[in-house]
Amino acid sequence: MKNQYKQLQPRKSCSPRRQQGVVLFIALIVLVAMSLAGIGMLRSVDTGNLIAGNLAFKQATLNASDLGVEIGFQWLLTQTGTTALDANIAASGYYATPPANDATFDWTNIANWAGSVVIPVDAAGNTTRYIIHRLCPAVGTVTSQVCAISTTSGTAGGGSSSVGSTVFTSTNSVYYRIMARVDGPRNTSSIVETYIQLSI
């Protein structure tokens, strides 16, 4: 009996398969996408903070305008009942008439505030100014022209031709307009218009 030997084939070496680099490519794409998302979120947060800051500065200028209105009102009170208000007092920011083109006057233009009173800059960096106009068509006494006035009625006894009747008296009040403007940081600006009624 013959011994038959099978010839064994030599085994192939188990070398690792060559990497194609697909996983690395996908990982790089994901990394780039995550980086862009992070940058976008960072910019969004910065924009939100900037908008919130601008709104805060705008609100601060609006609050500071109360100071201009109050100072203008206090000045008006000291002049009430005198003939001083019949003429312009430019040094105090007072004018017995509004601008000729008041309906179309551009109050947003800072050049149109040349005749106003400027209050020193406050701690928040706001510059406040105010200007006062009497709502009359011309310089002079209120009784000599048609001004914006209000009549309030009161009662007083006596002088009636009928026994026991009441005589009504009236007091005229003229209207004044106080314009206040505040300019603050980051080019914020607020303009407030207030109407005051004072007895003649």
pLDDT digits (tens, 9 = 90+) for 2-22: 556 556 565 655 555 665 667
Give pLDDT, residue 77: 92
Contact 131, 177 (CB under 8 A): no
- For residue 125, being part of any structural domain is answered with yes
Question: Is 31 inside any structural domain?
Answer: yes
* Distances from the Cα of 26 to the Cα of 18, 21, 29, 66, angstroms: 17, 9, 5, 61
Measured distance CA(74)–CA(128) in Å, rounded: 16
User: Which domain range does residue 52 map to?
Assistant: 22-199
Phi, psi of 6 (to 5 degrees): -85, 135
Would you say 134 and 143 are in contact if contact means Cβ atoms under 8 Å apart? no
Cβ–Cβ < 8 Å for 79, 93: no
Residue 16 domain-assigned (yes or no): no
Q: How far is CA 79 from CA 82, 83, 86, 94, 119, in A?
A: 6, 8, 10, 11, 20
CA–CA dist 129, 57 (Å, integer) = 17
Residue 98 falls inside a structural domain: yes
pTM of the model: 0.67
Residue 13 lies in a domain: no
Strand 117-119 versus strand 189-199 pairing type? unpaired
Confidence at residue 161, expressed as pLDDT on a 0 to 100 scale? 55
Low-confidence ranges of the chain (pLDDT < 50): none
Contacts of 70 (CB under 8 A, 6+ apart): none
What are the pLDDT digits (tens) for 29-53? 888 888 888 888 877 777 776 776 6
Residues 102, 103, 106, 110, CA torsion sign: positive
Task: Assign 3-class secondary structure to 12-46.
Answer: CCCCCCCCCCHHHHHHHHHHHHHHHHHHHHHHHHH
* 128, part of any domain: yes
Residue 11 in any domain: the answer is no
Asked, for residue 151, whether it belongs to a domain, the answer is yes
Six-digit token pair at 110? 């800072």
- In the chain, how many domains are there? 1
pLDDT of residue 185: 86
Report whether 136 contacts 148 (CB < 8 A).
yes
